[in-house]
Amino acid sequence: MMPRSDPPLFAFLRRLLSPARTAPENAHPVAPETQGEMACVPSAAGRLSPPRSVGEAGLALIKRFEGCARLRPDGMIAAYPDPGTGGAPWTIGWGATGRDDSTGETIGPDTLWTQAQCDDRLLADLQRHAAEVAAAIGDAPTSQAQFDALVSFHYNTGAIARATLTARHRAGDFAAAAGEFARWNRAGGRVMKGLVRRRAAEAELYMSGSA
């Protein structure tokens, strides 16, 4: 029997996971990357059909700001506390929170994963968040850069379904939508410098695809 290959999205993302890990909350803003392989295409009605998968620019932005930190001397990766609360929700790998798939328990201070577990969880989480963004924006004309920025925003906030940003995008008011990113800069009631940088990078990527 031939070995089963990864689905196209997973294979694409696995290739992009090869760069070295970075620490979370990188101090430098992210410049927009070139658009990914999966750009949107005209639909039968002549409108842009929204992407359904995150591209290279989106993955690069998410990896830059999430990082894959807390590498231990034994090669395992440890969870770290939320920077806003100093505790829950605990995060591990590329920004994974919530349920530990290997144990069924909530990710906490004692959670340890291998690099492969971190990478696999990122792939699964990106697929889920991209699907949720696609559902939220519906058939609104959307470039790959805009979609990538929205996925990064949703991956970090989980707010794509309720954010005014989404309504502005669906209405085609891209300048107003870009201005909404900066409002999501708090954690634990405090403005976080890392979130300010991330929102600015997402808005810049978003606007790079709105011309």
Catalytic residues: 66
- Residues ≥6 apart with Cβ < 8 Å to 210: 143, 145, 146, 174, 175, 178
User: Residue 3, preceding bond cis, omega within 30 degrees?
Assistant: no
Going by C-beta distance under 8 Å and a sequence separation of 6 or more, which residues neighbour residue 200? 29, 181, 182
Q: How many Cα atoms occupy the beta-carbon half-sphere of 198 within 13 Å?
A: 30
The conformational region for residue 34 under phi > 0 = left, psi -120 to 50 = alpha, else beta, is beta
Q: Which residues pair with 106 in a beta bridge?
A: 99
What are the distances in angstroms from CA 59 to CA 79, 88, 103, 168, 187? Answer: 21, 25, 27, 23, 22
Closest to 160 in 3D by CA, of 172, 147, 171: 147
Closest by CA to 77, choosing from 55, 99, 38, 110, is: 110
